[in-house]
Amino acid sequence: MSPNATNRKVLVTGGAGYIGSHACVALCDAGYQPVIYDNLCNASRHVPARIAEVAGVPVDFVQGDIRDADGLRGVFREFEPCAVIHFAGLKSVGESVREPGRYQDNNVGGTHVLLRSMDEAGVRTLVFSSSATVYGDPDVVPITESAPVRTTNPYGQTKLDIECLLGELYEASPDWGIACLRYFNPVGAHPGGRMGEDPSGIPNNLMPFIAQVAVGRRERLQVFGGDWPTPDGTGVRDYIHVMDLVEGHVAMLRLLERGPGLHHINLGTGRGVSVLELVRAFEAASGRSVPYDIVARRPGDIAECWADPTLARSRLGWRASRDLAEMCADAWRWQHLNPQGYGD
Ligand code: NAD
Ligand code: UFG
């Protein structure tokens, strides 16, 4: 089964999470009907209703685990989706170092079960959330898709393992349509201020940390290293607005509607931004100050990482269109209208 004009249902694993929730809105906007499948291990139970409110249409939600074959079988039977977008996974690098087995089991084991369930149900169209982490510490920037892939931590290993699994699957069954979308650094929020990133505990990532300092939930930002070989000494990344990112998924789905294939595509802007540049942009967008201290480098970090987004443009006809000011303005609107996130 591939997506067509009559069947527009798309199973979205991890659809209650940060990126998945925004993807559900973009899918609705594009005329698809997302069916969320999420065990809520890292998402609020309020998210599905919020998605429906923002999208203006009802959205199906099933609480379930991708490792539960019976649960997935029931969902494929009930909703008969034509495609799957697979966001479900654990994503903390530090946690993966402490609990590598749990990451393998959840991310890789879960994907095995999902693929078997898809095969049984005759669904052969899959968009997978990969990551720029598969490039490790890159030899050159900007990074093209042909750059060598390597592991730097157990989380990254799960992304590589799944990409490898999908490659083998496609080789054995070339009637599948599979995309591994390698995200750079997704940030920002839906512009309406009703949906955004709501990390539990202390944020690992830079943008939500800055937002929580600006709103007064945390005192100061720690900048991990001021002595990197970069223009201002702080780490450089390719921040991409989450709405651009999820629109890239819709473009990918449309390409897979046209036929099978295996794709590996970077989703980034092609522009590197330093930690201090992001702090300044956020201060400008929010009108708040973001005090910071420069501290030691974080173990495992790299100096710089940004995408060559050419392939996405030529293959998908998609490019990121929102700039750093818009990323910060939307992240700030979400943060200050919802200082405690979704509130559970
Ligand atoms: P997130 O944690 O907000 O969303 C992941 C969702 O998956 C959560 O809602 C969680 O409850 C769910 N989930 C986890 N394990 C599950 C399981 N076994 N069964 C069912 N649901 C499960 O993370 P996100 O930032 O939205 O990331 C989505 C995907 O994109 C992840 O696969 C992540 O690795 C990948 N990715 C994220 C980033 C980033 O910076 N946010 C960068 C590159 C790749
Ligand atoms: N940083 C700080 N202080 C903080 C948090 C981050 O200075 O409190 C710095 C980091 O040192 C780095 C930059 O901000 O220079 C970005 O750090 P993030 O943690 O936001 O993002 P990373 O690029 O380190 O990692 C993210 C995801 C990974 C993913 C990678 C590539 O967390 O899972 O992007 O997609 F693999």
State the CATH number of the domain containing residue 40. Answer: 3.40.50.720
pLDDT of residue 2: 46
192 alpha carbon to ligand 2 midpoint, in Å? 26
Q: Order the strands of the 177-183 sheet from edge to edge.
A: 60-63, 33-38, 9-13, 83-86, 125-131, 177-183, 261-267
Pocket test for ligand 1, best of 13, 46, 65, 91 (most atoms within 8 A of CB): 91
261: left (phi over 0), alpha (psi -120 to 50) or beta: left
Nearest to 179 by CA among 318, 285, 71: 318
93 alpha carbon to ligand 2 midpoint, in Å? 10
Q: Which of the ligands is closest to the CA of residue 230? A: 2
298 alpha carbon to ligand 2 midpoint, in Å? 9
pLDDT of residue 6: 66
- What tokens appear for 250 in the block? 């819709």
pLDDT of residue 3: 47
Question: Which amino acids bring their CB within 6 angstroms of ligand 1?
Answer: 13-14, 16-20, 38-43, 65-67, 87-91, 106, 110, 129, 131, 183, 185-186
Is 29 a domain residue? yes
Q: What CA–CA distance (Å, rounded) separates 104 from 151?
A: 14
Is 112 a domain residue? yes
Q: How far is CA 173 from CA 116, 169, 296, in A?
A: 13, 6, 48
Is 260 a domain residue? yes
Structural domain range at position 180: 9-190+239-269+308-321
Instruction: Give Cβ neighbours of residue 319 (< 8 Å, ≥ 6 apart).
Output: 309, 312, 313
Cis link prior to 142 (omega < 30° from 0)?
yes
Q: What CA–CA distance (Å, rounded) separates 80 from 39?
A: 20
Is 17 a domain residue? yes
**Nearest atom within ligand 2 for CA of residue 203:** 8
**Nearest atom within ligand 2 for CA of residue 131:** 35
What's the chain look like in SS3? CCCCCCCCEEEEECCCCHHHHHHHHHHHHCCCEEEEEECCCCCCCCHHHHHHHHHCCCCEEEECCCCCHHHHHHHHHHHCCCEEEECCCCCCHHHHHHCHHHHHHHHHHHHHHHHHHHHHHCCCEEEEEEEHHHHCCCCCCCECCCCCCCCCCHHHHHHHHHHHHHHHHHHHCCCCEEEEEEECEEECCCCCCCCCCCCCCCCCCHHHHHHHHHCCCCCCEEEECCCCCCCCCCCEECEEEHHHHHHHHHHHHHHHHCCCEEEEEEECCCCCEEHHHHHHHHHHHHCCCCCEEEECCCCCCCCEECECCHHHHHHHCCCCCCCHHHHHHHHHHHHHHCCCCCCC
Q: Which of the ligands is closest to the CA of residue 95? A: 2
Is 21 a domain residue? yes
Q: What CA–CA distance (Å, rounded) separates 170 from 179?
A: 10
pLDDT of residue 81: 98
Q: What CA–CA distance (Å, rounded) separates 231 from 245?
A: 27
Q: What CA–CA distance (Å, rounded) separates 13 from 71?
A: 12
Mean pLDDT per block of 10 residues along the chain (344 residues) reads 67 98 98 98 97 98 98 98 98 95 98 98 98 97 98 95 98 98 98 96 96 96 98 98 98 97 98 98 98 96 97 98 98 95 88
Whether 103 is catalytic is: no
206 alpha carbon to ligand 2 midpoint, in Å? 6
User: Which residue owns the Cα nearest ligand 2 atom 7?
Assistant: 223
Residues pairing with 231 in the sheet: none
**Nearest atom within ligand 2 for CA of residue 182:** 35
Is 100 a domain residue? yes
Is 340 a domain residue? no
Looking at the structure of the chain, the number of domains it has is 1
Pocket test for ligand 2, best of 301, 324, 327, 328 (most atoms within 8 A of CB): 301
Choose, from 135, 155, 183, 239, the residue flagged as catalytic: 155
106 alpha carbon to ligand 2 midpoint, in Å? 22
204 alpha carbon to ligand 2 midpoint, in Å? 7
User: Which residue owns the Cα nearest ligand 2 atom 3?
Assistant: 223
Angle at 234 between CA 229 and CA 238, to 5 degrees: 95
